A and B are shown apart, each in its own frame.
Chain A
Amino acid sequence: MTKVLAEIRDLRIDVRVTRRLRLRIVDTASLVINKGQLLGLIGESGSGKTMLCRALVGTLNRRGAYIQSGSIDFEGIDLVNASKKDWRSIRGHKIGYIPQSALAGPNPVMRIGAQLAEAVTQRGRKSKDEVRRRSLELLELVQIRRPEVVLKQYPYELSGGMKQRVMIACAIAQNPKLIVADEPTTGLDVTVQAEIMELLSKIRKEFDTSIILVSHDLQLINSICDDIVVMHAGATIEKLPSLKVTSALHPYTHALYDSRIDLVEPRGKLRTIKGQPPSVGKWPTGCRFADRCDFVKDVCRSTDPAPFMQVDDSQWSACIRHKEIYGGAK
């Protein structure tokens, strides 16, 4: 029995902007997630992390995006070529999704109870009592107090944190094996964020669910995830255990880690990453971090595409010079 739950290999995602203009938004992204693993996916805006999530949940087409090449294997199922019918049995049942709190949330014109009932019933026939029982059970799981009252409420009556808990309840309703959480706490207060993170950890432990947690906050990912995958300009450029983040093998990961604000004394010099990530459609050839990298050499720009290489059984890097710079994995 393999540990591997899902594997994405060399994924390329394009988006159809106009009839003639296509933009590549994800190029050579690879990642592996194991059963019961909490994987953090970190990247700046424009890194492609949200598109990668959409590919995993099958909602790419809604934005005119499509998979150009590569493979996504989930428990033996090929997600790249899955039909709409296939997705209906996968989405929600095998793969759950928690959206970013500010952007989406419970349907504002439906009561919470109705929304939850939808998530609970999906493709099965359940009696009203069963649905209600399961809904209350889910709300208690996500630590919502007075769940009977909340069932009757509308989203506008709930706080941001509570709404996210409801979304989490919907996501775990069918006991999926994998949950994709796309920046679930961005925009929420820090105390609420801490509680939601605890909740996700609890769910992972109790149900052995794998979770992909997407964020732009390295500290957050580092504090809770087993492993981290770093994305930059559409490519996955490093994968490493969170404990090893200080011995990362890619200059970008180091730069991200070193730019943390709590490392510096008040008003001291911040280690910023110079420049900005290259915008979609204007990606340079070779390593796309080259222009911002302190260790760049000609070979970095001429090797195209920058390969995502396995360094040892837990660490991958896309930096072709990592041996010279860091002397191999520690």
Chain B
Amino acid sequence: MIKQIREYAALPGGFGIIVGVSMFLSISILGFARPLLIPYAPDELIGDGLAAPSWDHPFGLDQLGRDVLSRTLAAVPADIGVAFLGVSIPLFIGTVIGILLAFAKNRVFLSLVGSIIDGINAFPLLIIAIAMVTFLGPGLFNVVIVLALMNWARYARIARTRATIVLRENYVEAARLMGYPRRRIIFKHVTPNVSSETLAYALSDFILVIVIISGLSFLGLGARPPAAEWGSMIADGRVFLGEAWWITVFPGIALCWSAISISLIVEGLSRRDRAN
């Protein structure tokens, strides 16, 4: 097993991928296994607030006396889990729409949908997210809805461009020559070759979505107290930065850790692509 990992690491980009995956897995597993690992509940009021890190509480206690370590790990389902939803839903919707568009023949329909997609894509995702959440009201659930409603367009553009190229490739023409039914061509030939690109985009989108979730929560638009979430924890701890830096810093490190881990994976994969 070690040998296989060593071999994988030796390939271009392999080292980055392995480090990135390890980092991501470690924080995800710790996060989801928190109930088994940490004796303190994330919203349990333990003692005096603003207690510095100690053996009992390695990350210290926040202003309400809650264990910061417990809260940091409890935020994983919120930040990483919600980010996962916030990426996979647009990924699915966008890829499907993109592929369908590539098959469409009606010029008017194509222009219409194309314009809608371009219009949505013209706005930076964060700005639109802030605007819509202000409109819909705060809450992680609403954040996911906003992302699903808006972010699909980016995937649709990628999927549609790729699908139009794939449809012209010789192997799709060969499939038509073989007389394969259209359904088969779409599912077995077009979709896998399109989703390789949309999946790649999804991976780097993941980072952005994590940051959006935390960012919205930081602004008070995402997770609502007392929910544990890195962005809101960072916001809470801002006032106490001088006396109790641990309230802000540890969630911040967790956020960076997650983003960097995915970044490393993305970088490793692109290095591998280039080497080929």
Q: Which residues of A contact B (CB under 8 A)?
A: 17-18, 20-21
A18 to B271, CA, bound (A): 10
Residue pair A20, B10 in contact (C-beta under 8 Å): yes
**Chain A residues with Cβ under 8 A from B10's Cβ?**
20-21
**Chain B residues with Cβ under 8 A from A17's Cβ?**
12, 275
A20 to B11, CA, bound (A): 10
A20 to B10, CA, bound (A): 8
Residues 1-36 of B contacting A (Cβ, < 8 Å): 10-12
**Chain A residues with Cβ under 8 A from B12's Cβ?**
17-18, 21
Is chain A's interface secondary structure helix, strand, loop, or mixed overall?
loop
Distance (whole angstroms) from the CB of B127 to the closest CB of chain A: 34
8 pairs of A and B residues whose beta carbons are closest in the complex = A18-B12, A17-B275, A17-B12, A18-B275, A20-B10, A21-B10, A21-B12, A18-B11
Distance (whole angstroms) from the CB of A14 to the closest CB of chain B: 16
A103 to B275, CA, bound (A): 19
Distance (whole angstroms) from the CB of B24 to the closest CB of chain A: 23
Distance (whole angstroms) from the CB of A16 to the closest CB of chain B: 11
Distance (whole angstroms) from the CB of A64 to the closest CB of chain B: 10
Q: How many A-B residue pairs have CB under 8 A?
A: 8
**Chain B residues with Cβ under 8 A from A18's Cβ?**
11-12, 275
Which residue of chain B lies nearest to A18 when distances are taken between CB atoms in the complex? B12
Q: Which among A17, A18, A21 has the highest number of chain B CB atoms within 10 Å? A: A18
Which residue of chain B lies nearest to A20 when distances are taken between CB atoms in the complex? B10
Residues 212-262 of B contacting A (Cβ, < 8 Å): none
**Chain A residues with Cβ under 8 A from B275's Cβ?**
17-18
5 A-B pairs besides A18-B12, A20-B10, A21-B10 with CB distance below 8 A are A17-B12, A17-B275, A18-B11, A18-B275, A21-B12
Residues 56-78 of B contacting A (Cβ, < 8 Å): none
A291 to B48, CA, bound (A): 80
A21 to B271, CA, bound (A): 14
Interface string of B167-188 (1 = CB under 8 A from A): 0000000000000000000000
**Chain B residues with Cβ under 8 A from A21's Cβ?**
10, 12
A69 to B275, CA, bound (A): 25
A-B contact pairs, 8 of them (CB 8 A): A17-B12, A17-B275, A18-B11, A18-B12, A18-B275, A20-B10, A21-B10, A21-B12
**Chain B residues with Cβ under 8 A from A20's Cβ?**
10
A37 to B275, CA, bound (A): 38
Distance (whole angstroms) from the CB of A103 to the closest CB of chain B: 18
Interface string of B100-132 (1 = CB under 8 A from A): 000000000000000000000000000000000
Which residue of chain A lies nearest to B271 when distances are taken between CB atoms in the complex? A18
Distance (whole angstroms) from the CB of A17 to the closest CB of chain B: 7
Distance (whole angstroms) from the CB of B77 to the closest CB of chain A: 37
A21 to B10, CA, bound (A): 9
Distance (whole angstroms) from the CB of B6 to the closest CB of chain A: 12
A233 to B11, CA, bound (A): 23
A174 to B94, CA, bound (A): 55
**Chain A residues with Cβ under 8 A from B11's Cβ?**
18
A18 to B11, CA, bound (A): 8
A17 to B10, CA, bound (A): 11
A17 to B275, CA, bound (A): 7
Distance (whole angstroms) from the CB of B112 to the closest CB of chain A: 32
A21 to B12, CA, bound (A): 9
A155 to B12, CA, bound (A): 37
Distance (whole angstroms) from the CB of B260 to the closest CB of chain A: 21
Distance (whole angstroms) from the CB of B148 to the closest CB of chain A: 40
Distance (whole angstroms) from the CB of A177 to the closest CB of chain B: 37
